[in-house]
Structures are given as structure tokens and as C-alpha cells.
Amino acid sequence: GALVYQYPRRTICKSGTSMRMECQAVGFQATSVAWYRQSPQKTFELIALSTVNSAIKYEQNFTQEKFPISHPNLSFSSMTVLNAYLEDRGLYLCGARDGNQAPLFGEGTRLSVL
Amino acid sequence: GEQVEQLPSILRVQEGSSASINCTYENSASNYFPWYKQEPGENPKLIIDIRSNMERKQTQGLIVLLDKKAKRFSLHITDTQPGDSAMYFCAARDTNAYKVIFGKGTHLHVLP
């Protein structure tokens, strides 16, 4: 079946440092990958949407300079949180989908910032 | 606009009764509406979805209704069980921008 692996599951970083999270699609082609952040008590904020053969589109309040994303092939994507601070805490989810299907989510990366 | 509004934010129902969650969307280009269930510490999982060419869909005790004219869609859980207690999120996909936007979630508590 189709699965999305996301790692690490949890990570702690010092304020001002950076951390990278990765997303692997298994059993289907991830023609698009969306990265979301679920802050405490909040819904899923879309950070950016990456579609094969198109430029990565960032939502308002999110920038490539802060959240650089790589989507080199149809099974892998990564995102880095640069210079993480307290407001960057939360659960980061990658949602991968093939064409018109609903996004399939990875387990999420829970980021804590000290 | 792209907002998806979801109500209520908290819903408490008695075991065996039904639960209803309502969402509205702004973008008339939205054509696909998935619903996700998220249990504590878990990632959200797709439970049911509906496309804009349908008004009603039912599967395993879940019913979704879509009113395109009113830009409203809803999830109905019949015969709720304690295992249905979780966060539920509605979402809408913009067919042009290819984005999936989520509602703020409903915390469903099924009381024994």
C-alpha cells in the first residue's frame, strides 16, 4: 500500500540552530508534496507546496530563506527549519499525493526548541 | 479567499448518538473535500472524502454531505463509539492552486 515515511519523529534543537526533516513516499509517486505546520492548539498551516516540474510555492508568512525545501524526485522531499526559535515549535507534516488523490501524511516531525 | 471554517471546535456526544461537524469554504474553485481524523500523538488520517460532482457519500458509519451552492460540507458520524473520540479536520482543495486548506478542527468527545 501507499505510505509516507517522515523522519525524524521528534527533534530538539537549540534556539538559533537549524534542523532538517525528510519525507519518503512509498508505493506511489509523490507528484506534489505539501509541508504543513501544526502549532499547539492550531490547525494545519500550509508552509509551501512543491509540485514536480513547477517552482515551490510558499504561503504568506513563510519563506524559502527560513524553510528551504528540496523535492528532487517523485519519492523524496526534505525541509529545513533555519534559525529555529520558540515560535517554530510544533508538529511538521509532509502531505504527499499523486495527482488528484487526497494528501497522505507522514507521521510528522515534532520540533521542540530550547 | 481561501479560508475553511469549521464548527464546532468542541463536540461532546453520548455514546450511540450521532455527531455532526460543519465546514464552509470561500473558494468556489474548490472541488475536493477530504476529512481527516487525528488521534493524540498521531498523524492525521484520511477517513472519507467527497468530490464536487457528488452531494452525498457514505462509508462505514460516516456520511458526508456537500452543498456547493452554499459552499458548505459536513461530516456525520452515526452511532458514535468511544473510539471515535479524536480531532477531526475538514479540508478543501483548490483545483487551480492545487492547495489543500484545513479547517481548525473539532475535538470530538464520545461519552460512555
Q: Which of A44, A58, A100, A107 to probe by mutation at the B interface, max B CB count within 10 Å?
A: A44
- Please report which confidence band the pLDDT of residue A40 belongs to, taking 50, 70 and 90 as the band edges: confident
Any chain B CB within 8 A of the CB of A105? yes
Interface test with A, best of B102, B104, B106 (most A CBs within 10 A): B102
> What pLDDT shows up at residue A98?
85
Is the pLDDT assigned to residue A94 strictly greater than 90? yes
Q: Is B104 close to A102, i.e. CB distance below 8 A?
A: no
Q: Answer yes or no: do A100 and B104 touch at CB < 8 A.
A: no
Q: Which position has the higher pLDDT, B55 or A51? A: B55
Cβ neighbours of A65 (radius 10 Å): 9
pLDDT (mean) for B63-79 = 97
Q: How far is A41 from chain B (nearest CA, A)?
A: 9
Is the pLDDT confidence value at B96 over 70? no
> A44-53, A94-103, B42-51: which has the minimum mean pLDDT?
A94-103
List the B19-25 sheet strands across, edge first. B4-7, B19-25, B72-77, B62-67, B56-59
Residues of chain B positioned with their CB less than 8 A from the CB of A42: 104
Residues in B closer than 8 angstroms to A108, CB to CB, are: 43
- The average pLDDT across A35-61 equals 87
Work out the percent of chain B whose per-residue pLDDT is above 70: 96
Q: Is residue A49 within 8 angstroms of chain B, CB to CB?
A: yes
Q: Which residues of A touch B104 (CB under 8 A)?
A: 42-43
Decide if A106 contacts A4 (C-beta within 8 A). yes
The pLDDT score that the predictor gives to residue A9 is 93
Give dist(CA B98, CA A102) in Å, integer.
11
In the predicted model, is pLDDT for residue B97 greater than 80?
no
Check CB contact of A102 with chain B, cutoff 8 Å: yes
- Are A95 and B100 inside 8 Å of each other by CB? yes
Q: Which H, E and C letters describe chain A, residue by residue?
A: CCEEEEECCEEEECCCCCEEEEEEEECCCCCEEEEEEECCCCCEEEEEEEECCCCCEECCCCCCCCCCEEEEECCEEEEEECCCCHHHCEEEEEEEECCCCCCEECCCEEEEEC
- B98 vs A contacts (CB less than 8 Å): 32, 49, 51
Q: What is the CA radius of gyration of chain A?
A: 13
Which of B93, B94, B89, B92 is closest to B104 using CA atoms?
B89
- What's residue A48's pLDDT? 94
B39 touches chain A (CB under 8 A): no
